[in-house]
């Protein structure tokens, strides 16, 4: 296994600058963020301009990775592939197809995304909608030698009442989306606050053979605050969709997850892919300097567990 990082946490830097810093900090791989240029969210970087990606761009990226001894493990663009607005959904699908094209040009095997959800429909209706809308995307990727992955982030902030906005959040849904042709980007940080055991869920996914990529993010849970707010989080005075009041994401080493056991299970199952740190820790984020410190903490936590 190689330890990498998702570049989205460093929107202040170019891909060349991210590669230089990551290599110097001991990272071995990059999961490259490819949101549309001009995205303003702190975790939505455009380190590949896939809308205008050329042969020269592919050569430049390969050269950058080679100079710093890095591997590119996935191109990542996580948006709502079941968006209720037809025009917006088509724009998202078009950008996802461009991500597939860029990944194929770079011989990167995976494009990481979300399933999403049409929040105006029931879950049952969404499952039917996905059959129609998502299979063509899977086929488009497969024709180019690329596999589409879905991360198990609930994206509760997409729903006005905090219900899951990405129908890839549970092992039951992993089984369903696998039948659509998606494989899993396993991120254990999303599971404990949903009441899902990340160890048992990982065993299930590995037994199904659907884990293609792993993201490393931790979580911190305040059980006393959960008693006050309930599992759906704050309803009065919420400052942002992620201000739930009783849990928050942390970098590995600052949360509650047992990384030693998780990585040992991956080794035992023969997983030899990448583990990419996804940095969304509000304590060690917000600025370039603090973000790099957070990534250094994650590296110190995880790298000794991966062996030589």
What lies within 8 Å, CB to CB, of 121 at 6+ separation is 84, 129
**Strand duo 274-277 + 211-216: pairing:** parallel
Which top CATH class is 2-219+250-306? alpha beta
On the question of pLDDT at 308 being above 70, the answer is no
Q: What is the pLDDT of residues 211-237, one digit of tens each?
A: 999 999 999 999 999 999 999 899 898
Q: How many CB atoms lie within 10 A of CB 200?
A: 11
Residue 126 is predicted with a pLDDT of: 97
Q: Please, which pLDDT band fits residue 22 given cuts at 50, 70 and 90? A: very high
Q: What is the pLDDT of residues 94-136, one digit of tens each?
A: 999 999 999 999 999 999 999 999 999 999 999 999 999 999 9
Residue for token pair 């600058």 = 17
pTM above 0.85, yes or no: yes
On the question of pLDDT at 42 being above 80, the answer is no
Compute the distance between CA of residue 82 and CA of residue 303 in angstroms, rounded to an integer.
37
Domain ranges of the chain: 2-219+250-306
Compute the distance between CA of residue 149 and CA of residue 185 in angstroms, rounded to an integer.
6
């Amino acid at each position: 296994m190689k330890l990498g990082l998702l570049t989205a946490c460093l929107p202040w830097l170019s891909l060349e600058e991210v590669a230089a810093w990551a290599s110097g900090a001991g990272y071995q791989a990059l999961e490259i963020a490819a949101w549309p240029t001009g995205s303003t969210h702190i975790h939505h970087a455009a380190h590949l301009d896939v809308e205008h990606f050329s042969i020269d761009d592919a050569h430049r990226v390969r050269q950058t990775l080679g100079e710093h001894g890095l591997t590119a493990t996935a191109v990542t663009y996580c948006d709502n592939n079941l968006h209720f607005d037809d025009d917006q959904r088509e724009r998202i699908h078009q950008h996802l197809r461009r991500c597939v094209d860029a990944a194929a040009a770079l011989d990167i095997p995976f494009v990481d995304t979300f399933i999403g959800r049409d929040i105006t429909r029931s879950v049952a209706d969404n499952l039917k909608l996905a059959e129609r809308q998502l299979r063509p995307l899977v086929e488009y990727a497969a024709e180019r030698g690329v596999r589409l992955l879905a991360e198990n982030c609930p994206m509760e902030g997409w729903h006005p009442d905090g219900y899951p906005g990405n129908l890839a959040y549970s092992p039951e849904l992993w089984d369903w989306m696998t039948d659509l042709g998606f494989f899993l980007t396993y991120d254990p940080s999303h599971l404990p606050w949903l009441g899902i055991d990340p160890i048992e869920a990982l065993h299930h996914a590995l037994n199904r053979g659907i884990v293609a990529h792993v993201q490393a993010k931790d979580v911190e849970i305040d059980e006393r605050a959960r008693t006050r707010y309930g599992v759906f989080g704050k309803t009065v005075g919420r400052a942002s969709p992620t201000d739930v009041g009783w849990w928050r994401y942390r970098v590995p080493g600052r949360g509650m997850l047992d990384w030693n056991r998780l990585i040992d299970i991956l080794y035992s199952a023969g997983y030899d892919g990448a583990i990419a740190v996804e940095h969304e820790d509000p304590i060690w984020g917000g600025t370039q300097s603090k973000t790099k410190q957070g990534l250094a903490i994650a590296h110190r936590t995880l790298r000794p567990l991966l062996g030589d």
